[in-house]
Each structure stands twice: as C-alpha cells, then as structure tokens.
Structure 1
Amino acid sequence: MQISVAWRVIARVFLPFAAGYYLSYLFRTINALISGHLISETGLGTTDLGLLTSVYFLVFAAAQIPIGILLDRFGPRRVQSALLLVAATGAGLFAMSTELPSLLISRAMIGLGVAAALTAGLKSIVLWFPREQVALLNGYMIMLGSLGAMTATTPAEHLIAWIGWRQLFEILAAVTGVTAVLIYIVVPERVIILSTGSTPATLSSVFSDRRFWRIAPLSATCVGSAWSLQGLWAAPWLTDVEGLGRESLVGQLFIMSIVLCGGAWLFGTTVHCIRRRGVGAEIILAIVAVLFIAAELALILRAPLPSILPWSVVAIVGTATVVSFAVVADYFPPELAGRANGALNVLHFGWAFLAQCGTGLILEQWSTEGGRRTVLAYQVAFGVSVALQIVALAWFAVPSFRSFTEWMGSIVFFAPVDVSDAVEPVILYEQTVVLMPADVDAEW
C-alpha cells in the first residue's frame, strides 16, 4: 500500500513539475543552437546576442524573491501553472518576432514564465516527500529537467532543419500551455501547518543567516557561470577557437547535455549517501568549485586535452544546484523552502545574466578575424569570471580555515588531558566540531 501511495505521489506531483523544469531548461539553452539563425535573419551583433540570451536570466533572477513568497503562500501548483501560461505566450511571440526589441520582450516573458520551474518543483518535493529523500529527489528532478538541454541539441537541430526555428517555438508554446493546464488539474494541494516555535517564515530570516552568505557567492559564481557558458558561449568557443563545423558542434553540445543529466543524478545520489553518514553537503560544493575552476583554466590556458573533457565539467557544474539546495534545505524549515530557494536562485540567475552579458561585452572589444573572435578575447572574458570564482572560493574557505586553527589550538590547549574515553562533540555555529572533555565546566 505504501509503495502504491508513493508511486501515485510521484505520478501526480513529481513528474508534472519535472515536465515544467524540462521546458525551462530547453528554453534556457536553445539560443546556443539558434544563435546563427538569429544573427543571419535579424542582423544581431555579439553584444545584442549576449543581451538577448541573458535577459532570460535577468528576468528570472528578478522574479525569484516574489515567486518564493508566492510559493510559500499559495503553493507550487497554482503559481507554476499560471506562470507557464506566460511562458507559452512569450514563446509564441518569440516565433513571430523579427526585431531586437520584440525578441527581448518575448524572451523576457519566457524567462518570467519559467522562473518558478525549479523552485516550484523543489517546494513540492519538500511538501510531499520525507526530508531524508529531498536531496535524492532534487537530483532526479534536475536530471529529468536537464533532458531539456539534451533536446536543445541534436533533436532540435533536426526539427529546425525540417520545419525552421520559428515553427519550433510555436510547438514549444503549445506544449508549454498544455503543461500548465496539466499541472493545475493533476497536482493536488498541500498546506504546511507551522509548528510551535518554528522559524518565522520571513525573507529576512534567510538573508540574515550567515551560513547562507557563506555558500551563496560560491554557488552563484560557479553555477551561474556554467549556465552562461553552456547556454550560449560554448558554441562560439567551439566554433571560433576549436574550429568545429556545424555537425561536430551540435554533436559536442549533445554530449555535454548527456553529461549534464548524469551530473544531476550523480550529485543527488552523492549528497543522499554522505548525509546518511553525517557529512555535510558543503564539502561537495567546495570540490565542485575546485574542479570547475580547473576546467575553465584548462580551456583558457589551452591545455593539451580533448576539449570535451573540460566542457563536460562545465556541463556537470550546471547541475550543482542539487548540492546547493540540499545545503539550504538543512539550514531552513519547510515553510521557508520557497523563500530560501528563491533567494539562492536570485544569485544563481543574476550571476548568469552578468556572466553571459559581460562575456559578450568583453568579446566585442576585439575585432573578428575571418569572421571569428580571437583566442585572446575568449581567454580574457573567461578569465574574469574565473578570478571572481576564486575569490568566492576563498570567502567560503575562510571560516573552515579559522575553525581548523581553533580546533588545532584546542588540541594543544588540552594536550595534558586524556580525552580518549570522555569526549563529547560541541557543535558551534558554521557547523564546526570541537572535541572537549566531558567533565569540563559548561562555561568553557
């Protein structure tokens, strides 16, 4: 009976929201595939293309805080279904647009319409599933949603060759509208009753939490940059720097999308396993950041590696939100899930906008040679982002380093005391663990 109930919840709650996130990811990455068509048909420049693609992230980021509040107040079912109708309208307008202003407006509508796709899904998981399964299900949610990035490569390329990119967006508009109706009809309502003494469900309790501000810059600069690169700048790099033709380019983007899906599953499973062993997910986030910086440096320094290797790491990091949201779920109660996830997503998508638009502005400073940007232009543009990620990693590591030195000092201070049999953990803020003798007075 319990298994039957679980599958019913998956079918009526998990899968409909996964479908909405799938569409969100498809809209996010499709411009990398149609960028050439947009340039040839509308005469867009590099800066215009960067602005057009990144306005999705700007609107997405601006909507996260209001959406988080709406999710906590009205529930994910009503919020998600209403916004997807906006996305459907935007996709329809995008298919008909021929000038930059109309393209920007319709792209902004798409960004607003899918702005709740991930956070609504995560909120539904928190509401309907046991807490110990949240990280694992988050991973599955993002894995299924990442199929949208896969669809935006080879499958979409074949459709565009057959019917054209404008007709493709007309189909996407219809599918998005149907998904909105499906979510409204199929997904049940569920209300969280606040427990006595619970954390006040206010946004200030999220932004005033020091733990949030420790992980947020690192998560934002890494995840947002990964989205920017895969969503737009991977294609120009592979064309201008690696010299790939259209077929090879689409093939490599397809491989990156497969890796993207696998990364979501990997992160979800890893976080689920380590949390069962009492290990915090923060360490996984730090490891991901180090690998991401190393991959970007390999690209910038032109390391003698197959380009698919560092670009696969870039793709995987795009799903590290599984780790970030698992950390946030540990910091805040369920009634704050919408606000907390929305607050973190503001930084994710805000940084993606800055990285995507800023990269276009930097690249525009170099003239083209034979229709291609120089390697130096990309090295400078990507290098600025890497420098800021290193700063964020240092900010994240400082409390850990301070805690380590304090722990070493405590070992030296209590060296004469035999603590082999009588120790107890004292959990300090920032989740630091210091071993102290059990019989030491509490005033220590």
Structure 2
Amino acid sequence: MSMETDQSQSRLNGVAVFFYVFLPFALGHYLSSLLRNVNAVLAPHLVGALALTPGQLGLLTSAFFFAFALVQLPVGIALDRYGPRKVQVVLLMLAAIGALLFATGRSFGQLVLARAIIGCGLGGCFMSAVKAISTWIAPTRLPSVQGYLIAVGGLGAASSTMPVRVLLQHTDWRGLFMLLSALTACSGLLIWLVTPRSQAPGGALPTVRSVLDVYRAPAFRATISLVLVPHAIFFGIQGLWIGRWLADVARFPDAAVAYLLYMGMASVIFGAIAVGMITEWAGRRGIEALDVAAVGVFLFILVQVVIVLNWRPSLQLLSVLFTLVGTITGIEYAIVAQSLPRTLTGRAATCLNLLIFIGAFLVQAGFGLIVGLWRPDAAGHFPALAYRVAFGVLVALQMPGLLGYVHDFLRRRQVKCGIALLTQKEEYEIGSLRSPR
C-alpha cells in the first residue's frame, strides 16, 4: 500500500469512516434488500398488467436470485483486484440500468431480462460493503459494524412492504422502478464522490482457481460447516414459507400475515445489531465468534423444533422469533473476514454468498416439494402435518453441523486441558530441581 494511502487511512477517524465509508456502501445494501423483496408487494400489479401465470411470476422473481448467484465469484475476484469503490460504482450503475429497463418493459421476456440485470448489478452490494469496512476499521470492530450493515439491509427489506404500499397510492409500479433506478444511480455516484481511495492489492489478477484458497482455509470450512445450512434455511424460509405457514396452519388472514411479516423484517434490524454487540462483547472476554454462532444456531434450531411440535398458542410469536434468532447466521461474514487475510476477504464473502443463495434456492424448492406431498383443503390450505414434516427435515439437516461443532469444541477443550496439565507438570519438575535437597 502506498504511503499516501497509509496516511489517508490514518487520518480517518471513526466519524469519518461512518460518513465516508459506511453510509455510502450501506445505502447500496439498503437498496439491494429493497429491490430483492419488492416483487412480493408488486405481484398483484404485475399479474394484472401483464396477465402473468403463477409460473411466470415465479420465474420473473427468481431471475434476480439466479443472476445474483451467477456473479458472486467474478465480483469477489474483482473486489480483491480493483477494490470495492470501483467495483461497486460499476455494479450500481448496471443495477440502475436494469431498474430503468424494468420500468419500461412491455413483455414478460423484457421484464425477466431486466430483473436479471438488476440481480447482476446488486450482486456485490453486501460484499463491497464488507470489503470497504474491513479495509478502514480494526478487525475487532467488524462484528458490530457488520451487524449494523445487516440491520440496514433489514430496514431495506422492511421498506419493501408497507412503505411501498403507501407509495403505490401515488404512482404505479413503473413509476416506482423509475424512482428506484434514480436512487440506485445516486448511490453509486455518492460512493464515487465521497469514499476515500484505497490502494488496491494489485499484482496478478486473481483467477477462479485462486478461489480454492478460500475453501482450503480451516476457518472458512469450520464456519460453513456450522452456519451455512442454517443461513440458507433462514433465507429460504423467511423469504416465502413463513408467510404460507401462517396462512395455512395458523389460518391468519392476509392482513395479519402481512403485519407479522413486517414485524419479522423489522426484527432483523434489532437482531443484527444485538448479534454484533454480543459478538464484540464476547471477543473482549476471549470468547470466539464461532462459539457465539454455535449458541445462536442452537437457539435457531430450537425455534424450529417448537414449530415442528405445532405449539399453537404462540404461532405468531414463533414466526417473529424465527426471523429474530435467524439473524445470528449473518455472523459468518464477520468470522470469515476476521480469520482470512484481507487479500481474500472479497472472494470469501462472495463464496459465502454463492453457497448461501444456492442453498436458499434448494431449501425453498425442497420445502415446497415436501409440503406438496399433501393435498390442500377446499380453501387451498395445506395441513399442519405437511409443514411439521418439512420443518422436521430442516432440523435434521442442521443437526450434523451443530453436533460436529460440539465434537470439535470438546476436542479443543481436551487439548487445552492436556497442555495445561503438561505445563503444570513441567513447572513442578523444574521447581523440584531448583529446590535445595
């Protein structure tokens, strides 16, 4: 890193980092979460405007996730090679173009292409923010700051519900996407204007083969073995099936389901901040972030076990707890960023995103296949047993990772105890040799 860059970094205090680094990149992440979830609210408008079938609506919405996952590895390589400032500006401008094309699209094919372009453009929002933040702050601050970043994403997801409904009273969905396109372009411009330039690592261009360096890292493997499956389940279920579960099992009306989903989105904000603060607090006391994650994963599985038991008096509470406790899974980004060299943090974040979004797709589709094994009633509601079996399968999928962590934790404790006993024995023998006879 050049002397000029080192000096500029040393001149940035906490307030400057907040305004010049965190806020610009957090705005991009906010818009990414909003655009990712907005189709849930716009679905009736899109179906009415284009006469979409349910299959077409599903394909239109999932085009975002497919494109998002597709660009993860190239974006990670670019982040490590060119730095988050340059990469994020280009991607946000691409997303702004996609939103503009969506606003002006007249056919199903045009909207699918536009939605995919939006997914490509927003595919680096979170990783760019993680890369930028990890460049300018101490590693010990990463869990709390990334918790704030995830909270901003929760705010974006919450904004895609009731606030969008209010905005649609003054414009149509095309006008909404015009506005979102302008905001996305302004977000990229803000990053270009105010974020300080940092020296990119330079050197040889990282290749896809170099991504194997991330997977070979023991910290990365230990993290994904514990948190990856719960994270994929959190994304896959919270984004679709919690709402269907509330409608089919609890038989709540649409207005109540919408309110509970909004409460769940809002709980992400508080949960993410709490996870960051707890992790940082634990770190100051010598407790590793992976140990904090293990406690959170246990609680997350426990919530699902209660869902399997069909505890009917508090189904609405369980729906919010699922989202609130599930925010612990976002801690894996901080663990990996702390554990790996900075030259790999971009690729590490994108590798995580690739695995998480593929996993979320599989969870979302697989859960639907299991529920679909039962027939709905006359009102179109699937039985509670279908959901209990599906959630039971999810619990079974998460148990190997948790049990593997417990095994490794006990083994590490045994090793530490053995080292302590050997040390005490050596000290005793040395003291015996030194003592007069």
Identify whether the pair has TM-score above 0.5, normalized to the shorter chain: yes
| Selected match of 1:33 from 37, 41, 45 | 41
Q: CA deviation at 1:21?
A: 0.4
Q: CA deviation at 1:101?
A: 4.2
Counterpart residue identity of residue 80, structure 2: D
Say if 2:184 is the partner of 1:179.
Answer: no
Distance 1:285 1:125, change over 3 A: same
Aligned to 2:199: 191
| Selected match of 1:419 from 420, 424, 430 | 424
Aligned to 2:150: 142
Counterpart residue identity of residue 92, structure 1: L
Aligned to 1:106: 114
Aligned to 1:430: none
Counterpart residue identity of residue 24, structure 1: S
Counterpart residue identity of residue 19, structure 1: L
Say if 2:211 is the partner of 1:203.
Answer: yes
Helix, strand or coil: the match of 1:353? helix
Counterpart residue identity of residue 95, structure 2: A
Aligned to 2:406: 397
Distance 1:19 1:246, change over 3 A: same
Counterpart residue identity of residue 186, structure 2: V
Q: CA deviation at 1:48?
A: 5.4
Q: CA deviation at 1:420?
A: 9.0
Counterpart residue identity of residue 142, structure 2: V
Answer whether contact 2:246 2:316 (CA < 8 A) is retained: no
Distance 1:419 1:217, change over 3 A: closer
Aligned to 1:431: none
| Selected match of 2:69 from 50, 58, 61 | 61
Answer whether contact 1:47 1:357 (CA < 8 A) is retained: no
**Alpha-carbon distance in 2 for matches of 1:25, 1:247:** 22
Answer whether contact 1:28 1:56 (CA < 8 A) is retained: yes
**Alpha-carbon distance in 1 for matches of 2:326, 2:120:** 20
Which piece of structure 1 moves more, 367-376 or 330-339?
A: 367-376
Distance 1:277 1:95, change over 3 A: same
Which piece of structure 1 moves more, 39-48 or 67-76?
A: 39-48
Distance 1:270 1:418, change over 3 A: closer
| Selected match of 1:262 from 261, 270, 276 | 270
Task: Deviation per CA, 1:91-144: give whole Å up to 9, x if none.
Answer: 233345576544433332222111111110011111111222222211111112
Which piece of structure 1 moves more, 40-49 or 250-259?
A: 40-49
Aligned to 1:387: 396
| Selected match of 1:357 from 365, 368, 373 | 365
Q: CA deviation at 1:286?
A: 1.0
Report % sequence identity. 34
Gaps of 5+ in 2: 1-9, 203-208, 432-437
Say if 2:300 is the partner of 1:289.
Answer: no
Q: CA deviation at 1:406?
A: 5.2
Distance 1:102 1:71, change over 3 A: same
Aligned to 1:220: 228
**Alpha-carbon distance in 1 for matches of 2:325, 2:219:** 21
**Alpha-carbon distance in 2 for matches of 1:261, 1:384:** 28
Distance 1:85 1:305, change over 3 A: farther
Runs of 4+ in 1 over 6 A off after TM superposition: none
**Alpha-carbon distance in 1 for matches of 2:107, 2:396:** 36
**Alpha-carbon distance in 2 for matches of 1:380, 1:133:** 41
Answer whether contact 2:24 2:191 (CA < 8 A) is retained: yes
Please report the TM-score for the alignment, with normalisation by the length of structure 2.
0.84
| Selected match of 2:167 from 131, 152, 159 | 159
**Alpha-carbon distance in 1 for matches of 2:28, 2:430:** 52
**Alpha-carbon distance in 1 for matches of 2:22, 2:407:** 38
Higher helix share: 2
Task: Deviation per CA, 1:161-185: give whole Å up to 9, x if none.
Answer: 4434343233222211221222222
Q: CA deviation at 1:388?
A: 1.4
Say if 2:80 is the partner of 1:72.
Answer: yes
Distance 1:46 1:384, change over 3 A: farther
**Alpha-carbon distance in 1 for matches of 2:73, 2:103:** 29
Distance 1:103 1:180, change over 3 A: same
Q: CA deviation at 1:282?
A: 0.6
Gaps of 5+ in 1: 195-200, 424-436, 440-444
Distance 1:80 1:253, change over 3 A: same
Answer whether contact 2:72 2:124 (CA < 8 A) is retained: yes
| Selected match of 1:274 from 269, 273, 282 | 282
Aligned to 1:197: none
**Alpha-carbon distance in 2 for matches of 1:393, 1:10:** 36
| Selected match of 1:329 from 325, 337, 340 | 337
Q: CA deviation at 1:53?
A: 3.6
Answer whether contact 1:328 1:340 (CA < 8 A) is retained: yes
Answer whether contact 1:30 1:231 (CA < 8 A) is retained: no
Aligned to 2:434: none
Distance 1:398 1:28, change over 3 A: farther
Counterpart residue identity of residue 392, structure 2: G
- Written as runs of structure 1 = structure 2, the 5 A alignment for 1:305-384 is 305-375=313-383, 376-384=385-393
Counterpart residue identity of residue 264, structure 1: A
RMSD: 3.2
Answer whether contact 2:82 2:200 (CA < 8 A) is retained: no
Helix, strand or coil: the match of 1:307? helix
**Alpha-carbon distance in 2 for matches of 1:43, 1:317:** 38
Distance 1:90 1:151, change over 3 A: same
Counterpart residue identity of residue 59, structure 1: A
Aligned length: 416
Q: CA deviation at 1:318?
A: 4.8
